[in-house]
Chains A and B, each alone.
Chain A
Amino acid sequence: MKKILLTILLTVVLCSAWYLSASAEDSQGKKLYNGWCAQCHGYDGDAKSYTDKFSVPKPRDFTMGTYKFRSTPSGDPPTDADITKIVRNGNPGTSMPPWTRFTDDEVKAIVAHVKTFAPDIFKDAGKPITIGTPPKASAALIAKGKELFNKAKCVECHGKAGRGNGEKGWQENFKNDWGDPITPANYTHPWELRNGSTVEDIYRTISVGLGGTPMTSYMDSLKDEDRWALAVFIKSLQEQRKLGVAIKIKKTVAIPAKVDDPAWDSVEYMDLPMGGQLMFEPRDFTPLITNVRVRGLYSDKEFAIMVEWSDKKPNNGADGKPADTVWIQFPQKVTEEAEKPYFFMGDKKHPVYLWNWKASDAGKVTEQLAKGYDNVADLPKQDVTVIAGYNDGLYRVVYKRALKTGTKDDFEVLPGKFVPFSIVAFDGQNGESGIKGAVSSWYYLMLEPATPLRVYVFPPLVALCVFVGGLSLSRSLRSKK
C-alpha cells in the first residue's frame, strides 16, 4: 500500500514539474502564435478559422501531423530548420505570409509551439537528405532530364510541357491528406512553386516529395544523378515573366490565320500578373489564373491581340462547370488624357467595351458595353472576330478587329497612340463565372509606327493611371508576384 501511495505521489510531483516547466517555456511561443498565426491556423492548430474559406490551399491543420515542406525523407518529420524556413519565407502563391518581424529566438519559440500540436510525430528527429552541388546545365543534361521525365512518368501528372495538365491529375480521389482536391504543379510558372524554384529546391521536391500530396518521393527509385538531370530539365521549363506597362504591337503583312502559327512565337509579349476580383460580390479570393500573356500584330487594315494563359483543365461548359472565359476591356473613349482610371467593368460615366469570349462557343466573341458590373449589354453591331485554341495546358485566344470600324462610338486604333486595356479571365474548373474571376490592372497597347519613333513619350497621365489602377488590385496581386 505504501508503495502505491509513493508511486502516486511521485507521479503527481513529476507530472506537475513537467507541466510547470513546459508551460513556462511555451508561453512566449504560444503568445506569439496566438497573436499572429492562430487567425489562420487556429488556436488549437486545427486550422478552424474564418480564413479557411478564403484560402486555397487552406491554412495548414497542424494537428494532423502531415508536413508538406520537408528536407527529410518520406516518413520522417520536418526538421526545425524546415519549419523555420517556411515561417521566415512564407509560401509563394498562398496566403501564408513571410514573417520577418520576429527575432530568431521568437521564431524558435513559435516553432516549438507549432510542434506541440502533433507531438507524436516529432518523437524521433528527421534527418535531412544531403543536397550536393547541382551539375552544370547543358543541352545534353536537359535532354537526359526530358527522357527521364517520360520514363519516370512525371509526364502523366504534370503534362508534356509541364503545365500541370497530365491526365492522372484529374481523378476523383486526387486529394491531399487534409481531404482537399489538389492539382499537379505547373512548372512553367516558377512563382507558383511552393517548395521553391531553384534547381536545388526542385531536386529536393523530387527526392522527398511533398508531404500529404500525390507528389511522391523518388529517392528510392531514381539515382541521384537522374534526379539532378530531372531538376535541370524542369528548371529549363520555367518562364520568366516579362512585366511592363505597355506592349508595342508591330506591323506585319498578314496576321497569322491560326493560333498555333509559329509566327506568333517570335512576337514580343508582355506578362500581366492576375489577382482575384475583390471589389464587388461575388469576390474571388482564390483565383487560379495567375498570369496572362499578351502580344499583338497589325496590318494596314486590322490589328490582332493574342491572350494566352495556362489552364490545367479546360472546361467548355459541358461538364457541369462554367465555361472558361476571357474578356479584354477597353475604355469606350480612348483618350490619353484620361481623367481617371477605368475600373473593373467601368461605370455610367466611363463605360468600357468588353470583348467577351467563352469556351462554350469558342468560334465567337461578343462585343458588349458595360457601365458597371451590373449593367452590361450586347452591342448591336459586332466588329470583332476571334480564333481560339487549347493545346497541352495552354489557351490562346486571338481577337481581331479593323483599325477603324466606322461604328459610332467605337474607338480607333492609330499607330503611335496608347490604348488602355485590361484582362479578366475565368477558370470554370475553379467555379469562376459572372464577375468572379481573375483581373489584371490596366495596361496600354500601342501600334508601333512603321518607321519606329526613337523615343516613346509616355503621356504623364498614362503612367499615373497605371499606378493608381494598380493600387486597387495590389492587395491581391502582391501575394501572387
Chain B
Amino acid sequence: MKKLVALMCMVMFLCVSAAAFAADKYEVVDVKDGGSIKGIVKTSGAPADPVLDINKDTEYCGKSHPAGMYVIGAGGGVKNVIVAVEDITKGKAAPKTDTVIDNHKCAFEPLVSIAYMGQKYIMKNSDPIFHNTSIGLILAPGKKRTVYNLALPNKDQTIEKPVKVAGLESVSCDAHSWMRAFVYATPNPYAAITDDKGAFEIKDIPAGKYKVKFWHEGFGEAVVDVEVKAGAAATLDHTFAKK
C-alpha cells in the first residue's frame, strides 16, 4: 500500500512538472474586449549611476562610460524595467517584430529589449573592432545557459538567428567585459519596457487574474498579482525600495 501511495505521489509530481514545462506553451486566440494593465514603476531612492571602467580598445572605446543602469525620471520613475505578464497561456499573437542587438560604441543598443519567439535576433556590429555577442538564459547569479555565442569580427557584419528559448537572457561580449544588455524572450505579446518616466502599458489582455513580473538590472525582481477586467484598464504601479 505504501508503495502504491509513493507511486501515486511520484506520478502526481511528474504530472505537475510536466505541466510546468508546458508553461512556455502559448495558445493564440482572438481577444475581444480585452483589458489592459498600465502603471508607473518608481523607486524611493536610487544609487548614483555607476561608471564603467573601460580597459580594452580604449583608443576606440574611451576610458569610461556611464552605465545607464539607474536612469531615474522626474518623480522617481525608473527607466528600462521589464514588465511581463508571466503566467498567461492564451491571448493574441505576438508581434512579428525582430529584435536588434547592435554593438555600437562599445555598448549594446538597446540595453533592454523584448524578443518574440519565432521571430529573429538581428545581431549587428557597428564598430570597427571585434565584438562577439553571447546571449545566455540566466539560471542563477553568475550562471547561464548559452543560447547563442557568435563572432562579429568586422564592422557592419550582421547575423540573424531565430528566437528559440524563452526567458530572461543576458547579452555579453567576451572581448569587452563591461558590455551588457538584457533580453526578455517571450512567446506572447504581453511584456513591456518602462519609458523615461517609468511608465508602461500592456494592452488586449483576456480578462482574468495574472502575476506580473517587474525586473530591473539593479533593483532586481518583484512579482505582483493583478486582476484584469474586460474592457477596462487595471492600474499597477510598483515602487522598488531604496537600494
- B11-A12 in contact (CB<8A): yes
> In the bound complex, how far is the Cα of B146 from the Cα of A121, in angstroms?
11
The answer for the CA separation of A157 and B14 in the assembled complex, in Å, is 45
Q: Is B126 an interface residue (CB 8 A)?
A: no
Question: Roughly how many angstroms separate A384 CA and B91 CA in the complex, as a whole number?
Answer: 81
B149 touches which of A156, A174, A179, A216 (Cβ 8 Å): A216
A64 touches B143 (CB 8 A): yes
Q: B27 within 8 Å of A by Cβ?
A: no
Contact of B145 among A18, A19, A65, A151 (CB under 8 A): A65
B175 in contact (CB, < 8 A): yes
B177 and A174: CB pair below 8 A?
yes
Cβ contact within 8 Å between A168 and B161: no
The A-B contact count (CB < 8 A) is 101
**Is A211's CB under 8 angstroms from B146's CB?**
yes
CB of B7 within 8 Å of the partner chain: yes
Contact yes or no, B146 A212, CB < 8 A: yes
Q: In chain A between 153 and 175, which residues have their CB closer than 8 angstroms to a CB of chain B?
A: 153, 156-157, 167-168, 171-175
B56, CB-defined interface residue at 8 Å: yes
Report chain B residues within 8 Å CB of A65. Answer: 145
Kindly state the interface size class of chain B when it binds its partner.
Answer: 35 or more
Check B177–A152 contact: CB distance below 8 A: no
Measured CA separation A211–B132 after assembly (Å): 14
- CB closest chain-B residue, reference A175: B142
Residues on the A chain within 8 Å of B145, using CB: 64-66, 121, 177, 212
Which B residue sits closest to A206, measured CB to CB?
B151
Interface string of B143-166 (1 = CB under 8 A from A): 111111111111001010100100
B139 at the interface (CB under 8 A from A): yes
Q: How far is the CA of A218 from the CA of B131 in the complex (A)?
A: 12
Contact A66 B146 (CB under 8 A): yes
Of all chain A residues, the one with the shortest Cβ separation from B179 is A173
CB-CB nearest in chain A for B174: A214
Known A19-B11, A173-B172, A177-B143: A75·B177 in contact at CB below 8 Å: no
CB-contact partner of A214 in B15, B134, B147, B159, under 8 A: B134
Range of interface residues on chain A?
Answer: 35 or more
A177 x B153 contact (CB < 8 A): no
Residues from chain A with a CB closer than 8 A to the CB of B130 are 152-153, 156
Given known contacts A64-B143, A177-B144, A178-B143, is B153 in contact with A152 (CB within 8 Å)? Answer: yes
Interface membership of chain B positions 78-106, coded 1 if the CB is closer than 8 angstroms to chain A and 0 otherwise:
00000000000000000000000000000
Given A171-B176, A172-B177, A216-B174, 12 further pairs, Cβ under 8 A: A11-B15, A12-B11, A19-B10, A65-B145, A66-B144, A75-B147, A121-B145, A151-B154, A211-B146, A211-B149, A216-B149, A222-B151
Q: Can you pick out 29 interface pairs between chain A and chain B where the beta carbons lie within 8 Å of each other? A: A16-B11, A64-B145, A65-B145, A66-B146, A74-B148, A75-B161, A121-B145, A151-B153, A152-B153, A153-B130, A153-B153, A156-B175, A157-B174, A171-B56, A171-B176, A173-B177, A174-B174, A174-B177, A177-B143, A178-B143, A179-B142, A209-B149, A211-B149, A216-B174, A218-B153, A221-B151, A221-B152, A221-B154, A222-B151
Sorted nearest first, the 3 A-B pairs with minimum C-beta distance are: A214-B174, A153-B130, A179-B142
A positions within 8 Å CB-CB of B: 11-12, 15-16, 18-19, 64-66, 74-75, 120-121, 151-153, 156-157, 167-168, 171-175, 177-179, 209, 211-212, 214-218, 220-222
